Amino acid sequence: MAKSFLGQGWGFPVQAKAGVLAQAAYDDSVREAIWIILGTARGERLMRPDFGCGIHELVFERNTAATAGKVTEAVRDALLSFEPRIDLLDVLVDAQDAGAVMQVSIEFKVRATNNAFNLVFPFYLESGAQP
């Protein structure tokens, strides 16, 4: 019963396997929903202009502690607003690849099953914006 709350549907990205659309269910559905939230810029969806994450507005920022703080805040706000199936435990941002990539590590717990997960989302800064 608890897992039915997590839902199931098309996988992300949408793809066909053996002539049938790939499906995502339960914990995979939650993980893929997080990727969709973080990968969608605010204003990108016509009927939901508020949906998405504000990190896309930071692409041309320098890789500094201040930018890492802005990324952390944007990710936290987006997940708290648009993914009610999780309890967000922590969001950590780490700079990688000489300043071109920030690794966003997200620790969360699925409310219905109490399973804890860690997801790492790479956020690519414009290569010209080096510290």
- Per-residue pLDDT for the chain (131 aa), expressed as one digit of tens each? 455 555 556 555 556 677 766 555 567 778 888 999 999 999 998 999 999 999 999 998 888 888 999 999 999 999 999 999 899 999 999 976 567 889 999 999 988 888 899 999 999 887 554 44
State the CATH number of the domain containing residue 33.
Answer: 3.10.450.40
Quick check: is 45 in a domain?
yes
Question: Per the domain annotation, does 33 fall within a domain?
Answer: yes
Domain span at residue 99? 3-124
Does residue 41 fall inside a structural domain?
A: yes
Confirm whether 129 is domain-assigned: no
The structure's pTM equals 0.79
22 located within any domain:
yes
Residue 57 lies in a domain: yes
- Tell me how far apart the alpha carbons of residues 9 and 50 are, in angstroms, rounded to a whole number: 23
How many domains does the chain contain in total?
1
Structural domain includes residue 130: no
Backbone phi, then psi, for 127, in 5-degree steps?
Answer: -65, -20
